[in-house]
């Protein structure tokens, strides 16, 4: 009987989740990426058509009278700024009003421009817009969490071909984020160290999963990635909240984020992907719970290439199967 290579199981130290890394790794050429039809010349998000959208929340100036980035309310919001939470019960079940914010961050006045092609100056303005909106919404005591995220490509949930990101601010902390917060809190209680700082030191020590390192950030494929070629960007300076980012770090984040996306798109032309920023919840103290937040949590960016469809096994078990190891994925990306 022919001997087969054993697959490897790995445990995520933050969430306690297990993943399976297959023994025979797939290379980028083994994946199929469906190309998007991006031939539309313009849309209501383009410069000159501002009157066709809802009233602007904020903008950053560009060349001449043109804006560089622009924030508007979402066209189909789930969360509404006006009103009160109205917490109530229905038997054993809890309910409240969908108070919050849904916003569209228009990343450029130009229509046919990809994130990795917009240039460093423009990407800096996108990151600065993220910071401004998160800092503003943190002041609303009704809101507990603000998530910035991007959907690029139809397979990743994109609705517009114009370059945009999204913001959702909610009156609760989403479960996926809370799992990270709880995992970080438990690790800190046990070791009195930030788990993300420990991950950063270990990745720099090992080097095998590092994609790119800059003065302020490190980009790497996590040890127990959920998806092939998943990449994280972690600040080298410990900070729990993204909105505390400095001007120098904004420039550096724009550089490394653009570089990682460019590498992914070079390996997988037309790749659909998502990225999101995991930051601290709004820093309203909660007795006996988030009082160590400044010490145990560390904001970061997660980039998820949409190379595979999630199967019933992953949905039903929360146990992910990884056809390309993080070590192989980071090697491919370093060499692009």
> Which residues, 6 or more positions from 310, have their beta carbon under 8 angstroms from its beta carbon?
none
| Mean pLDDT of all residues in 64-86 | 89
Q: What is the pLDDT of residues 117-131, one digit of tens each?
A: 899 999 999 999 999
CB 251 within 8 A of CB 15: no
State the pLDDT confidence band at 286, using cuts at 50, 70 and 90.
Answer: low
Q: What is the pLDDT of residues 248-275, one digit of tens each?
A: 999 999 999 999 999 999 999 999 999 9
Which CA distances in Å does 230 have to 146, 315, 316?
22, 18, 21
Confidence check: pLDDT of 104 > 70: yes
Calculate the average pLDDT of the chain: 91
Q: For residue 53, which phi and psi values (nearest 5 degrees)? A: -110, 175
> Which residues, 6 or more positions from 246, have their beta carbon under 8 angstroms from its beta carbon?
none
Taken in order of first residue, the domains within the chain and their CATH numbers are 8-37+174-335 (3.30.428.10), 50-170 (3.30.428.10)
Helix axes 175-191, 195-206, angle to 10 degrees: 80
Which CA distances in Å does 264 have to 38, 185, 273?
19, 32, 9
**pLDDT value at residue 1:** 40
How far is residue 230's CA from residue 166's CA, in Å, rounded to a whole number?
20
Confidence check: pLDDT of 237 > 60: yes
How far is residue 75's CA from residue 98's CA, in Å, rounded to a whole number?
16
Helix axes 247-267, 120-137, angle to 10 degrees: 120
How far is residue 175's CA from residue 164's CA, in Å, rounded to a whole number?
25
Confidence check: pLDDT of 2 > 50: no
- According to DSSP H, which parts of 138-209 are helical? 175-191, 195-206
Q: What is the pLDDT of residues 155-214, one digit of tens each?
A: 898 888 899 999 999 999 999 999 999 999 999 999 999 999 999 999 999 999 999 999
């Amino acid at each position: 009987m022919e001997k087969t290579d054993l697959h490897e199981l790995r445990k995520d130290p933050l969430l306690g989740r297990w993943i399976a890394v297959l023994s025979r790794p797939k290379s980028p050429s083994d994946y199929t990426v469906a190309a998007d039809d991006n031939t539309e010349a313009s849309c209501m998000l383009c410069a000159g058509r501002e009157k066709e959208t809802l009233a602007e929340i904020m903008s950053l100036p560009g060349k001449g009278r043109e804006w560089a980035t622009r924030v508007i309310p979402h066209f189909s919001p789930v969360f509404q700024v006006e009103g009160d939470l109205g917490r109530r019960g229905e038997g054993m079940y809890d309910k409240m009003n969908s108070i919050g914010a849904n916003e569209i961050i228009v990343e450029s006045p130009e229509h046919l421009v990809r994130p990795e092609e917009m240039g460093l100056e423009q990407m800096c303005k996108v990151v600065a817009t993220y910071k401004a909106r998160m800092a503003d919404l943190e002041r609303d005591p009704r809101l507990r969490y603000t998530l910035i995220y991007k959907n690029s490509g139809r397979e990743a949930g994109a609705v517009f071909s114009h370059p945009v990101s999204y913001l959702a601010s909610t009156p609760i902390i989403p479960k996926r984020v809370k799992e990270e917060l709880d995992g970080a809190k438990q690790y800190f209680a046990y070791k009195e160290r930030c788990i993300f700082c420990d991950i950063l030191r270990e990745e720099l020590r090992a080097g095998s999963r590092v994609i790119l390192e800059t003065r302020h950030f490190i980009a790497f494929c996590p040890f127990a990635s959920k998806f092939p070629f998943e990449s994280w960007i972690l600040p080298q300076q410990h900070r729990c909240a993204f909105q505390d980012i400095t001007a120098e770090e904004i420039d550096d984040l724009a550089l490394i984020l653009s570089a990682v996306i460019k590498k992914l798109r070079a390996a997988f032309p037309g790749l659909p992907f998502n990225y999101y920023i995991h930051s601290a919840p709004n820093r309203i103290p909660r007795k006996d719970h988030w009082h160590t937040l400044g010490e145990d949590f560390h904001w970061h960016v997660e980039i998820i290439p949409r190379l595979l469809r999630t199967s019933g096994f992953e949905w039903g078990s929360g146990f992910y199967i990884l056809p390309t190891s993080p070590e192989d994925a980071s090697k491919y990306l370093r060499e692009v």
